[in-house]
Amino acid sequence: MRVVVTGGAGFLGSHLCERLIKRGDEVVCLDNFLTGSAANVAHLQGRAGFRLVRTDVTDYLHVVGPVDVVLHFASPASPVDYLQLPIETLKVGSIGTLHALGLAKEKAARLVLASTSEVYGDPEVHPQPETYWGHVNPVGRRGVYDEAKRFAEALTLAYRNTHGVDTGIVRIFNTFGPRMRPDDGRAIPNFIRQALAGEPVTVAGDGKQTRSICYVDDLITGILAMADSDHPGPVNIGNPHEIAMLDLARWIIELTGSESEIVHIERPVDDPTIRQPDTTLAREVLGWEPLVPVEEGLHRTIAWFRAQEQEHAFSVPPLDPQATEHILRGE
């Protein structure tokens, strides 16, 4: 197949591009590098069937030739990013989604929208099934991301119902793995970076709030199962393994062999208290469930962060110890 991946140089997008190339598909990777990085797909450059194009899907989206699938993954996704880029986040969820759907309509392609568990907000139903309408603060600071994705879902269904576009929606729960930015603000890269540097590991609030964390390889398998299906969704894709943030911080300190202490910081406004997907639908319609144990995924992710730390340290001139220290600390 010929697949267009918007946001293809981001964390999830780059893993999608890699898996698609490995299975023999042709990939057009689109990214404006606002939060993604060409380094994430550098290993794919020169591979047969891979093309990287720098473009902003909120400005214009045109792809020459046939397209079988559009995977719309362009968007800031971490709180640090979308709080710093609120307008860009809303634009890519609205205008960017409009352009991606227009491309799918033009090419008679299937489009899969990367939505999010954030559409459930701070849920009052636990675990969260796809039938739950959510509990979102539309005018809170986090609302720029939540509402962008909720609008994107509504627009996707409108194109399906009005124009007959073959669409699918996946609601992605917390995911982790290699290629996460150390400074992207999410818990796992933060905890790993701090633990490896011997810094205090910062836990928001009392740390009793929970997340369900899924290793990236499993998530990509679920997304491609959705792309290969004809199901409209939405379908939850995530690991039901729920864990409190304080316990996760302790676990990462143990796995890294760090002597870091845990320090509690102020909890962000509207930070969800609980988060756990009901994955019954994914099992029934996609035959999908996560297979990688969380601990194994954490080991792989920590190993990747260690390798990046060493690589960056070696790339710094030896007479600049201050710069070396900043790189090792992820600053």
Residues annotated as catalytic (active site), given as ranges? 145
* DSSP strand pairing (235-237 vs 167-172): parallel
Q: Give the span between the Cα atoms of 243 and 236, in whole angstroms.
A: 18
175 pairs with which residues across the strands? Answer: 214
Give the list of residues 6+ apart from residue 97 with CB closer than 8 angstroms, or none: 72, 113, 151, 152, 155, 156
Report the C-alpha dihedral over residues 53, 59, 63, 64, rounded to 10 degrees: -100
Tokens for 270, please give them: 């509207």
Give the list of residues 6+ apart from residue 70 with CB closer than 8 angstroms, or none: 3, 4, 6, 100, 103, 104, 107, 109, 110, 111, 112
Tokens for 210, please give them: 């929970």
Which amino acid, one-letter code, is at 300? R
